[in-house]
Amino acid sequence: MEVLLMLRAAGGPRSVGKSSAVTLVDWYDLNQETLLVMERPAPSVDLLTYMLNNNGPMDENTVKNIMKQLVDAAIVMHSKGVFHRDIKSENILIETGSDVPRVRIIDFGCGCTVKNEPYRGFSGTSAYAPPEYFTRGAYEAAPTTVWQLGALLYELLDGYNQFITSEFLHKNITFNTGLSQDCQDLLNMCLALNPKERATLEQMQQHPWFS
């Protein structure tokens, strides 16, 4: 499944460096395990390290650049039938070789194909599972991706605290009121508890905060 998802998301070896998803260069079926040979973007660090190196909250313009790339990448992945299901700072690389950081997405091991009906079992990081999984035992692809992008947006802007869905449900997580109004609005749209009231990926992409 991971091979299939990576090929869908980024293409084969000839696509190295061309997509937001890291490219699968080759793979070997070893009966009880599969060996994946992947593109290695360099120089780069994972987004968690990038955040820690910042020693606190990132400024909105830096976060805006990272999030815009992630939203665009999520839309492309979903259009190709790829549901990553584990969007978080550890699964995102930041290429640091130029003045503008470039986002690359890794680790499709928890992913699956996009389907129209709800999913039941959750594969991914429970801290970032959408609230409907805890309340209803079911979740859908696009609203889950939006929720995880919203959680990541919170972490980038907070700089210190991990987002945990269960803590958010118990109202133990609050937004920084010093953020711009557009930014706070986007956070609220992404982290709406009701998935039907949550922003779509396209609404995120077109939000005024990115203008």
Return the bridge partners of 27, or none.
Answer: 36
DSSP for residue 76 = H
Residue that has been written with the tokens 């909105």 in this structure: 60
Torsion of CA 143, 203, 207, 100, to 10 degrees: 70
Secondary structure (3-state) at 194: coil
Residue from 29, 72, 86, 158 carrying the catalytic annotation: 86
Q: Pick the closest to residue 77 from 185, 175, 4, 26 (CA basis).
A: 4
- At 124, the amino acid letter reads G
Sign of CA dihedral 93, 165, 71, 11: positive
**Catalytic status, residue 29:** no
User: Which residues are tagged catalytic?
Assistant: 86
